[in-house]
Structure 1
């Protein structure tokens, strides 16, 4: 199949401009070839042009890199999916002693541990940052019982990063460089800001949806301890080269085996469905990958967000297809859906669903049973009614408190158990679903952003 570079450049430019995205880079793997495109600017203040060799922040796509390192250790016989974290990290503590004693590597990889997932702690720039982060995890509780719901946990991936360090004798950064970047020839991938300064680097942009965002006050707010869950820096083409290794069941283009075929398959093995299939458009979760089902066509991938930059990766293994989109602000999720519905439809023969939104005429719903305050690590949501209209107050708390001020908004009913919240603050989607349910221990919870928050 011929890749019509001019056509896709035109569509990239059109969709980007329509969604107020300052700059973007796109890489597509089709018929064994990687095609690279870019559009817009890296920094609206300086006007520096986005190019295919521009470096963006990954956000949570970094988790797939950490999961790959962990599965390499499985290949080496140094751990198993059912290995207990406490056996690998002597002295490991959580606020929930029973959880600390029994939580496993596999539960962390699949976001089914129940650990409070957004524990943020700046432990400095030293090589001991992850060791100090894990020590601080003694303050971290749980959001839900293990293996009851997929509750997305960045905390767990920082802990996995520390396990990598202990078992390899390297920092997470060096392990990633030597075990993944170098074997795959990823010359435009790195983990530290000072390494990124060698290249054209995208600046984050922030602003209200539907407006042209302005450059953020700082390039990145993530501490070094957040690397295993949130900071790999790369070009779109380097991300596709990493994805191609997984598509080839662990083989690099030169035949070097980076990961066993068995471990590559395990990473995309279905572990559990998700209550919310809209936010990430997932059908479930594996041991590192988000899983998709496009009308019977299986796929996998991951999304990421970091301080105004948003990244998207989709792989359709049955078609030998992969595509990566990197952006630096604006209505990035709508831009992604606009572009990828067309891209995957034409080049991979699959139909991505539409972006989540409530109906033009929403149903009448009694919100009273859903009202209350819900909390998880870093976030508090208060659900109630004002003049007969459902509303929400969203606050970042604890270590997340400095990221955004409290926000309030009206909610739109979707069903008796789903409410739509307008996209607020540093988000890139117009609507976010709030899905309400009950945990096995009887506690009501709200599920949003792929995380469970029990009612308190």
Structure 2
């Protein structure tokens, strides 16, 4: 396995970040059992504060790995049954489909096969009852498909999992995250509430047109506390995310040598539950229990992406090589930065050839969009 050339990769992230108009980025790389940390750019174009390796970014749906790991810890201890209907634990759980309500399982929520739709952002306030109120408010949301039929990536489902954690542990999701995941694994720069984020150098999202320098978002994070378990509020350093991934690479062993999860539990999370029919939309080949799964020309990998308003995160793991990479960004052409940088890193450190990202066709296709212009509405969403 190649050694990590710090100076080379610092130069590459600086160059690629600037070329793609990304204001700031933090990179952490696990290789040869060592975590390397790099920082580039600024946290806020209005203030000019520099990104440092201990800066925290909003990680978006990468949070689903935190939630899934906590759920699997409860399964491992016998407090939850993966294949039990959700209503056995959460009697108030309800969907617009009465039959689905009775049959949706915890396993299906973890693997995005419940049929529940993706997005329903609903502000239920800052109180400790925010998730309980969210579950009540989501009862009328139609399913995308029958449970177990196919993949239906669902943030709603992960909020249900967050509420299940609360019911089983007697803690809020935020406190359970701190006490049952972050503290045992030494994730000292992973927080959820704004008052905790203020203790650290934190990034603000930037938005703008492609190819131009983006501008800071008008607010730091417009997403409510009730979006926590699916990825609306958690902030972390890149190294903290790699530290969590390292535990999964090491078969459940934490950095202090203790067994956080059993190896069978870790393996179950990385076992394919469903194939992704549309690999471009999901950027993966399948899904396990929390993890997105990849097949890089026969080399197995897992990971997750995340996005909030103007902040984007990318996590990829090549377990056979013991390599894990996390990139956290705050706007601009983050997808292009990720694609170029990870392609080089995975090739150099793990011998992996990533497929090219989705791109426009070489020959322009003419499509008349006029008949489709208008407003599209459903529960919680207006496009």
Range of TM-score over shorter length? over 0.9
For residue 272 of structure 1, the aligned residue among 274, 295, 298 is 274
Q: Which of 240, 243, 246 is residue 241 of structure 1 equivalent to? A: 243
* Corresponding position of 2:112: 111
Larger displacement relative to structure 2 (129-138 or 314-323): 129-138
Give CA-to-partner distance per residue, 1:408-429, whole Å, 9 cap, x none. Answer: xxxxxxxxxxxxxxxxxxxxxx
* Structure richer in strand, relative to its length: 1
Deviation at 1:117, TM superposition (A): 2.1
CA distance in 2, matches of 1:23, 1:273: 34
In the other structure, the counterpart of 1:431 is none
Pairs within 5 Å for 1:399-418: 399-401=380-382, 406=383
Give the number of aligned pairs: 381
Query: Which range moved further: 392-401 or 147-156?
Result: 392-401
Partner of 2:284: 282
TM-score by length of 1: 0.81
Q: 1:153-173 CA distances to partner (integer Å, 9 max, x unpaired)?
A: 000000000000000111111
| Counterpart for residue 319 of structure 2 | 317
Distance 1:339 1:392 in 2: 36
Report what 2:350 is aligned to: 348
1:262 corresponds in structure 2 to 264
- Answer whether contact 1:158 1:226 (CA < 8 A) is retained: yes
Structure 2 equivalent of residue 450 of structure 1: none
Q: Distance in 2 between matches of 1:124 and 1:196?
A: 18
Give the CA deviation at 1:397: 5.3
Aligned equivalents of 2:63 and 2:57: distance in 1? Answer: 12
Answering whether residue 36 of structure 2 is matched by residue 35 of structure 1, we say yes
Superposed CA deviations along residues 377-423 of structure 1, whole A, max 9, x for unmatched, are xxxxxxx644xxx966675754344xxxx5xxxxxxxxxxxxxxxxx
Runs of 4+ residues deviating >3 angstroms:
390-398
Gaps in structure 1 of 5+ consecutive residues: 368-383, 407-456
**Which residue in 2 is equivalent to 1:100?**
101
Contact 2:204–2:216 (CA under 8 A) maintained in structure 1: yes
Distance 1:223 1:4 in 2: 40
**Deviations 1:8-67, CA, capped at 9 Å, x for gaps:** 000000100111100000000000110000100000000000111100001000001000
- The aligned runs of 1:200-211 (5 Å cut-off) are 200-211=201-212
Are residue 220 (structure 1) and residue 221 (structure 2) matched? yes
> Contact 2:276–2:282 (CA<8 Å) still a contact in 1?
no
RMSD of aligned alpha carbons? 1.6
Contact 1:280/1:303 (8 A) holds in 2:
no
**Matching residue of 2:66:** 65
Give 3-state SS (helix, strand or coil) of 1:43's partner.
coil
**Is the CA contact (8 Å cut-off) linking 1:279 and 1:356 kept in structure 2?**
no
1:307 aligns with 2:309: yes
Report the CA distance between 1:355 and its aligned residue: 1.3
2 CA distance for matches of 1:260 and 1:393?
A: 51
Checking the alignment, whether the CA contact within 8 Å between 1:183 and 1:256 is kept in structure 2 is no
Question: Scaled by the length of structure 2, what TM-score is found?
Answer: 0.96
Q: Cα–Cα, structure 1 residues 397 and 21, in superposed 2: closer, same or farther, change >3 Å?
A: farther
Greater relative contact order structure (CA < 8 Å, 6+ sep): 2
CA–CA distance in structure 1, aligned partners of residues 335 and 55 of structure 2: 20
